[in-house]
Structures are given as structure tokens and as C-alpha cells.
Structure 1
Amino acid sequence: MEEKICLACLATDKKLKNNYCTKCIRELFNGITPNPLNFDKVEFTKKRAELSPRMSISGVQDKISLAFEKKDLTPTAINGKYILKPITKGVGQIENEKDIVANEHLSMLISKNIFKIPTASCALIKFSDGELAYLTKRFDYDDEKLKYDQEDFAGILEVSPSTHGENYKYDACNYLDCAKMIKKHVSSNIVAIEDFFKRIILNYLICNSDAHLKNFSLYSKANSNEYFLTPNYDLLNTRFHINEKYGDMALELLEDYTSTYKAYGYYTYDDFETFAKYIDLPKIRFDKIIQLIKDSYPQVEELINKSFLSSKAKEFYKNSYKERMERLKI
């Protein structure tokens, strides 16, 4: 029997059910084996137009909310527990569009499986014509279908277009400002601060320069005042899709550049060590994360090779990750 690859975890398995392994069916789909989507991208576009006035999913990328009807994931305006993103076309200056969904899927798996960061469950799923789309399970509902209270860092820091201009989610604050809000609002902030640090350095390593204020959030469960960092979401090697001339990250690390940054013109080990000190990350925990990064490349390379990226995208992802490791001198 031929081995196939699970569209969720990328594990090889001889006994996949509709492209997914048993473990992922349980974790991602609550034990329901989903059918391939019964609509294509043309129908997706029509459904999005019909549902968009009533949907609450933010962001500029095309997406719709899905819910189970028996074993079919179908578009819905209310109570959707999954978000579907197809391959984006004709949005701004995006390049290599066909790799976008595989890029996001891979980046999320690196976050979850290698860096051990709480990360939204996700998978690839086939349209009726076989084209792959990105699917993620919503994390802002509990088992009783009660929606969590969620606020992104733009809201927490009280910045908006009216206060800081149209580019507010990139220009208004830095990652140190976000860390201060975690300390203020999260009761278990020692764990959350380490988690946040790992997210920042991961975004640097995978060349995600779109980790802006709205891509980090805090949430609390229904009938609770205790806040936590939401699972990681919206991860992508943006460098492969946008010809960026300036900057390596969406936000600056600190309020001012370190002498090392001024010397090299990009972030290095010293910058992240300084950031760790500013957010009170213990040296022993910082060293452990650095060791994780040192050991990470073989696992990252394995996931890249198993991913659904094109050959060109795979080589770019590998090379850019290695270049960032070299910048950190680890």
C-alpha cells in the first residue's frame, strides 16, 4: 500500500482517511472525517460575497467561515468553527501566489511542532477541483460554543488609524510595548513572556515581517477575567511573497536601536539578548531557547521537504532560515 502524506501534520501514513491521519481527525476535526470541499474557488468567491456583510473575520486576505454539516464543511455566516483561505490572486504586489497556503501551513507547523508554541490547529484541504486551500480551526470558542473575549494588541495599546495614521499597526508601538501589556494583563505572565519571546524570534527566523499589532492577541474564556496569550496565528515567510526593501520585522524590538544593530543594520544575537533582559526573561530560559534554535534546522529542513511548497519556495525557505541563523551567529 502506497504511503501518503497527511494534509494536516505532513506525516506519512498508509491508512489516511480522506487525506488525514487518525490523530489529526481527532484533534482538528473532533473525530469527524471531513469530505473534500464540495465547492471550488469560483464558488468560494461567490459565497464570500454573499456572506461577507455578516461575517466577523478580520483581515484583508480572502477567507470564509465554515461549519460542519454532517461530514461536509460548508460556508456559514454564524457559528463557524473553521476559517478557509484559498490561494490569493491579484492582491497588491504579492509574488509567488501559488505557494501562499503551503507557506502558511508550514510556518504554523514549525511554530507548533519545533518551537512548541501554542498554535492554532490547521491543515490544507482540497477544493472540489483538487486545488489546495488553507484551513484553520478557530480557537475563540469553548466546548459549549461560548465565544471568548479577545482583544488584539492594537486595541490593548489603544492605537488606531485615528490616533497613529493608516500604518498604525506597524508604526505605533514596538514589541517591548507588547511585552509590557502582557505583564500588566496576564496573571501567569512569567510563562507568557517566554512564550512571547519565542514567537518574536520565530517570526525573525522564518522571515515573517507581518507580525504586527493585530497578529498578537489576549483572550479570556467566557465568564472569566483571567487573560492569556491566544495561540499563534497568521504565520508566513513573507519575504518570499513581497519584495521588501526595508526592515526585517513588522515592529521594532525596542524603543531604540542597540549599538550592535547600528553597526550591522540588522538584528543579531545581542539585540535579542538585550530584548530578553528588558522583558525580564531569565538568562537560563534565554539560553535554552537559543539552544533550541541551534538544534532546529534539521527538523525545519525535514518539514520544508515534506511540505507542499514548490521546489523554488522550499529552497528559498531553507536559505532564508539559515541566513537568519547566521545573523544570530548560532
Structure 2
Amino acid sequence: MENDICLGCLATNKTLKNNYCLKCIKELFNGIVPNPLNFDRVEFTKKRAELSPRMSISGVQDKISLTFEKKDLVPTAINGKYILKPISSGDGHIQNEKDVVANEHLSMLISKNIFNIPTASCGLIQFSDGELAYITKRFDYDDISGLKYDQEDFAGIIGVTPSSHGENYKYDACSYLDCVRIIKKYVASSVVSVEDFFKRIILNYLICNGDAHLKNFSLFSKVNSNEYFLTPNYDLLNTRFHVNEKYGDMALELLDGYTATYEKYGYYTYDDFKTFAKYIDLPDVRFNKIMKFIEESYPKVEELIDKSFLSESAKKFYKSSYQERMKRIKF
């Protein structure tokens, strides 16, 4: 099937090759125009079972690693430069599973193209039967040398594990304020990275991502470097549309304790993020600029939601939940 919308950036006014604009072909596929996948979701499940004992991709969502063979992206057990995630299998744990792929794609584009946060390159790609899957380019490999970067998620940096903090260690071990302390300790350009992290927390709050836990933030150092940076954003999703949240408004607590406003309302508001900004030494002028941007950028968010491949009910939910969170943090 040939679309009039880019499966990478959702642009509708660009020349497309195999459903991708030239910019996405360059950024996502390193200049290679990819063919649709030569297998479907049923075959994906078989290939995942064959490869899973040898694959190192973590997480609970079904996924496999891909590599290019000429213009075909094919499953691989080692050195894959792409991760493929299809529609969930429908085992009862996830509601509205058919929207998961489009949800993650949209959420990542909001991060990258509207909030201007460094974000893993991603897009949608067709299975052999035309069904869409989510594909993202791995950011932990050097494009030129092919060497892997040194990367560690925040759980590993802190040293928390299921044995030390229980099965919910990714959520219970510390707060987002603790995460900033990690950044200040290990990242040389911490002033820039702290503001970047603040924007990520605001974004996760707005899109109702209740899964922005310790393992979904990482630091990495590039080849032949000892300097650490925040990795690009990854694994973004409006989780409220798919699961009954267990951990409140966000995956981690924002602060070490609760503000009087939170105690009063039971959810995070402008006062909480203002306090958070103060504790992480984000200047008032930068905080105010970000909060103004959030309000002014919503029309672009809504436009991107409308262009996405979400179902109509999912689009409606995404907009309403985003607007609800905006009202909560409005001064």
C-alpha cells in the first residue's frame, strides 16, 4: 500500500520513496530506501522465539532486532541496528493493544519534533501484509565505526535491583529529583542536561506516560570518550490508554516528599514543577519559558495527533488527557 503520508515523520507535503520522505530515509535508514518487511506478524512471533535466547534487548514488549541486507530489514540475533515492535499479542494485560504502535510513534514524534528533545529516530514500517509495526534506530552504535557505546540505565548507575528493592525497584527506588542528582554527578555538561531532563519529565507528565521509570533513562559515552551524556529519549507512550495505572501520575515520585498543593489535590500541579525546578537549580527565566512553550505548542501537538495512525477513540483520549494535564500545571 502506498500512503501520501511519511511513515517516519508523518509529513504530508513531501516527496516519498516507499512511504518515507528523504529526510527520514537519511536520518532513520542512513540513506537506504527500505523495502516493506518480507514477513508478517505471525512470522515475527516465530522469528522472535528462534532468536530470543541469543538476543540482549530488554523489556517486556515483544520486539526483535533488525539489520539491513541490501534494502531488506531482516531479523538478527547480534549487532542489529534497529528494534521492531509490532502490535501487542492481545494476552489481556494491555487494553486497546491495536493502538500501541501508533501511540509510541506519536509520543516519540512529540518529543523530537515539538519539544526538541534529543529522541531516538523512529517510524512505522509495513509487514508483508501491510500491517504497521513500530521501528526505532538504535542510538548506542556509532554509525561510522559500528562500535557500541558504553551505556548504563539509571537503575544500574544507582545499583538498585529486584533483590535490593523488590520487584517494583524500577519505580520505588528513588525520585526524579534523585535522577537529577545522578546527572549532576556524572554529566559534564550538566546545566544543559538538567534542563533537558526537566523537559522530559514535563513531557512524560503531559502525555500520561506512567512508565518513565529508572531503566528508561540512561547515560552513555561515545567511542573513545570518557564523557557521559543523557541518551536520547526512548520508550515513550501514553500508558493510560492501555493499562490501569498503579503508580499515580508518574512512574517515579517527582520530589523527595510532597508539596502542600499535592497534599491538597492528590496530583501534581504547577506548584510541584515550580518546586522541582527550584531544587534542580533551573533558572526562573528558563522555567517560565518552558511553561509558556507548553501552552503555545499545543496546537502543533493536536495537529500531530490528528495526523497519526491512532484510532479515532485513541486520538480523542490522547487529546483530552493531554489537555487535562496542561490545565493541572497552568499557573
Please say whether Structure 1 and Structure 2 have the same fold, judged by a TM-score greater than 0.5: yes
- Name the structure 1 match of 2:160: 159
Distance 2:48 2:246 in 1: 33
Deviations 1:91-117 (A, max 9, x none): 452100000000000000000011000
TM-score between the two structures when normalised by the length of structure 1: 0.98
Amino acid paired to 1:139: F
Q: Which moved more, 1:218-227 or 1:90-99?
A: 90-99
Distance 1:215 1:241 in 2: 18
SS in 1 for 2:59: coil
Segments of 4+ in structure 1 off by > 6 A?
A: none
Amino acid paired to 1:297: Y
Distance 2:9 2:238 in 1: 19
Contact 1:3/1:13 (<8 A) preserved: no
What displacement does 1:148 show? 0.4
- Name the structure 1 match of 2:274: 273
Amino acid paired to 2:219: L
- Name the structure 2 match of 1:180: 181
Q: How many residues align?
A: 329
Q: Which moved more, 1:244-253 or 1:270-279?
A: 244-253
- Name the structure 2 match of 1:303: 304
TM-score between the two structures when normalised by the length of structure 2: 0.97
Contact 1:3/1:12 (<8 A) preserved: no
Distance 1:230 1:86 in 2: 24
What displacement does 1:90 show? 2.9
SS in 2 for 1:140: coil
What displacement does 1:27 show? 1.1
SS in 2 for 1:219: strand
Matches within 5 A, 1:112-191: 112-142=112-142, 143-191=144-192
Distance 2:79 2:246 in 1: 41
Distance 1:54 1:284 in 2: 49
Distance 2:175 2:130 in 1: 41
- Name the structure 2 match of 1:291: 292
Alignment root-mean-square deviation, CA:
1.2
Contact 2:14/2:21 (<8 A) preserved: no
Contact 2:210/2:247 (<8 A) preserved: no
1:34 aligns with 2:34: yes
Distance 2:13 2:265 in 1: 46
1:204 aligns with 2:205: yes
Distance 2:91 2:173 in 1: 25
SS in 1 for 2:20: coil
Amino acid paired to 1:292: F
What displacement does 1:15 show? 3.0
Distance 1:326 1:134 in 2: 31
Q: Which moved more, 1:15-24 or 1:2-11?
A: 2-11
1:263 aligns with 2:254: no
What displacement does 1:243 show? 2.2
- Name the structure 1 match of 2:93: 93
SS in 1 for 2:156: helix
Deviations 1:277-302 (A, max 9, x none): 11111111111110110112100000
What displacement does 1:56 show? 1.0
Distance 2:145 2:271 in 1: 46
What displacement does 1:23 show? 1.1
Q: Which moved more, 1:244-253 or 1:131-140?
A: 244-253
What displacement does 1:246 show? 5.0
SS in 2 for 1:292: helix
- Name the structure 1 match of 2:323: 322
1:11 aligns with 2:11: yes
Contact 2:3/2:19 (<8 A) preserved: no
